[in-house]
Structure 1
Amino acid sequence: MTIVASNLIWGVGPKTIVRDVSLSVCGGETLGLIGPNGSGKSSLLRLLSGLKRPRSGRVEINGRDVARVSRRNLAREVAFVQQNAATDTNVSVRDVVRLGRTPHRSALGGWSSADEAAVSAALAQVDMHGRRAQAWQTLSGGERQRVHIARALAQSPTILFLDEPTNHLDIHHQIEILRMVRDLDVTSIVALHDLNLAAMFCDRIVVMQEGALVACGPPAAVLNQALLRQVFRIEAEVIELSGSGRPHIRFCSL
């Protein structure tokens, strides 16, 4: 297993936001986190990545308790892509991706050939190498998200966490980004709002409701009419997508 979480509880003040969640993620898997707004998806993502520490429970990444790993060492294995990371600084695409090498560099160390190779490889993986000299401000939303992912890949992680990476993108770029993430040679944990995109691109889906894990498994086993009614309060028909074995949700009109 790449990630094993046991009995995670976390909250703010008296409010509990993540309630006794246990799960495991296998190497190379793309795991989707879905649930209504306020269900605890983003908080769980930050607990799993080590960005937040639980009130109780434990997270192990590659066999090590993340609470006992320094942030710098953890950043050499784990990368996190936020929803809407932005910068107002006039920098190039390459400069943004170079930031991903920070965990691998010493305070006195110069820019190495290994750093340059990692940046070039990351840009190539997201098909942005040809735009490495382009100014950040001139990029479209989809291109910026690709660059954010490239910066994460420049860390040379084994695990990639993404918090709603398709938020505010048009459908073409949503599909493009998720297809790219699925095809990366890393373990990916992705928080998503769109249920059909989760069904299309995730190997397994975790469903959150009021901070608790209420379902986990392959999309076809998890997404059904009863769950959609109970968790998302919607009426929908679930059909198989073009013989793929993956479900497609057809929402019922009111």
Structure 2
Amino acid sequence: MTVVAHDLTWGAGRRAIVAGVSLAVARGETLGLIGPNGSGKSSLLRLLAGLRKPWSGRVEIEGRDVAAVARRALARQVAFVQQHAATETSVTVRDVVRLGRTPHRSALSGWSAADEAAVAAALARVDMTERAAQVWQTLSGGERQRVHVARALAQAPRILFLDEPTNHLDIHHQIEILRMVRELALTSVVALHDLNLAAMFCDRIVVLQAGSVIAAGPPEAVLTTDLLRAVFRVEAEVVPSPRHGRPRILFEPG
């Protein structure tokens, strides 16, 4: 499914956090959102997913205004993996992932074999099958993040929004989660801090600064020495990876 944003503006109080953002995500594409802290990445993701109402502008999914789509119908198409989520309830990993099936079930429907298969497949995709019976509160931050992704996968969405999905993960699971996202053949929008991971796994990148789009395009066109200096205030050399040809950022010590 396609996602298109038209001149989105949103903020808190009188301050605009997202300012006039327009972008388009093609069907099956993985789009990366990068930018310094406070640049509006998380807020833009929530606007794109229909979780916030913009001050102005609109978001279209497959040509239809998100504001006109019923919440339950939208939840069958769109999944959102947030940066931080917590619960004080004593639940197991399997219980958390089962929540992803909620949009597909009516109040009177029982738990089906299809529901169980979706949960099992989602747990396997994030390497958490052996932890399915473990209590949520006993998980590490990285394990919780993987469970959040599994819950989104159990939802069987056609569009996946992820806000810093690699937070708290070791490097192995950072790479595995992003590789999985690319291989899912979904339309995906992911906010990332790690510029090398964005370069490695995103088809295109949008750079945000102070709520506005500064640059957009394929990683090799966007991630330049000049942009890194201007937006992120770092000195770095950008070279093609000898393995896959994508940009590789070599940061220089200060």
Against the structure 1 CA distance between its residues 102 and 144, is the aligned structure 2 distance closer, same or farther, given a 3 Å change threshold? same
Contact 1:220 1:245 in 2 (8 A): no
Q: Are 2:20 and 1:17 equivalent residues in the alignment?
A: no
Give the equivalent residue in structure 2 for 1:121: 121
1:197 corresponds to which letter in structure 2?
L
Give per-residue Cα distances to partners, 1:75-109, cap 9 Å, x unaligned: 10000001122223322221111111111121222
Question: What is the TM-score normalised by the length of structure 1?
Answer: 0.94
**Residues 1:144 and 2:165 are matched in the alignment:** no
2:166 match: secondary structure = coil
Q: Percent identity?
A: 75
What is the aligned partner in structure 2 of residue 106 from structure 1?
Answer: 106
Quote the offset at 1:121 in angstroms.
2.3
Is the 2:142–2:167 contact (alpha carbons within 8 Å) kept by the matching residues of 1? Answer: no
Equivalent position of 1:84 in the other structure: 84
Distance 1:80 1:192 in 2: 14
1:8 maps to which residue? Answer: 8
Deviation at 1:146, TM superposition (A): 1.8
Amino acid at match of 1:129: T
> Deviation at 1:10?
0.9
User: Could you tell me whether the CA contact under 8 Å between 2:145 and 2:167 is conserved in 1?
Assistant: no
Mean CA deviation greater in 131-140 or 244-253: 131-140
1:7-39: per-residue Cα shift (whole Å, max 9, x none)? 111111210111111111011111110000111
**Corresponding residue for residue 55 of structure 1:** 55
Q: In the alignment, residue 103 of structure 2 is paired with which amino acid?
A: P
Local SS of the residue matching 2:108: coil
| 1:166-218 deviation per Cα after TM superposition (whole angstroms, max 9, x unaligned) | 12333233222222222223121110111111111111110001110111111
Contact 1:30 1:189 in 2 (8 A): yes
- Could you tell which deviates more after superposition, 122-131 or 241-250? 122-131
Aligned residues between the structures: 254
Letter matched to residue 166 of structure 1: T
Is the 8 Å Cα contact of residues 228 and 234 (structure 1) preserved in structure 2?
Answer: yes
Alignment of 1:1-254 (within 5 A): 2-254=2-254
* Residue segments in structure 1 that go unaligned for 5+ positions in a row: none
Provide the alpha-carbon RMSD of the alignment. 1.5
Does the 8 A contact of 1:81 with 1:165 survive in 2?
yes
> In 1, are the aligned partners of 2:82 and 2:162 still within 8 Å (CA)?
yes
What's the TM-score once normalised by structure 2's chain length?
Answer: 0.94
- Structure 1 residue 58 displacement after superposition: 1.1
Q: Give, in whole Å, the separation in 2 of the partners of 1:96 and 1:225.
A: 42
SS across alignment from 2:245 = coil
- What amino acid is aligned across from residue 53 of structure 1 in structure 2? K
Q: 1:243 to 1:97 in 2, by over 3 A?
A: closer
Shift of 1:220: 0.5
| Cα distance between partner residues in 2 of 1:185 and 1:237 | 32
Cα distance in 1 for residues equivalent to 2:36 and 2:152: 27
- Measured in 2, the distance between the counterparts of 1:143 and 1:235 equals 33
**What displacement does 1:114 show?**
2.5
Q: Secondary structure at the match of 1:100?
A: helix
The question of whether the paired residues in 1 share the 8 Å contact of 2:32 and 2:191 is answered with yes
Task: Give the letter aligned to residue 131 of structure 1.
Answer: R
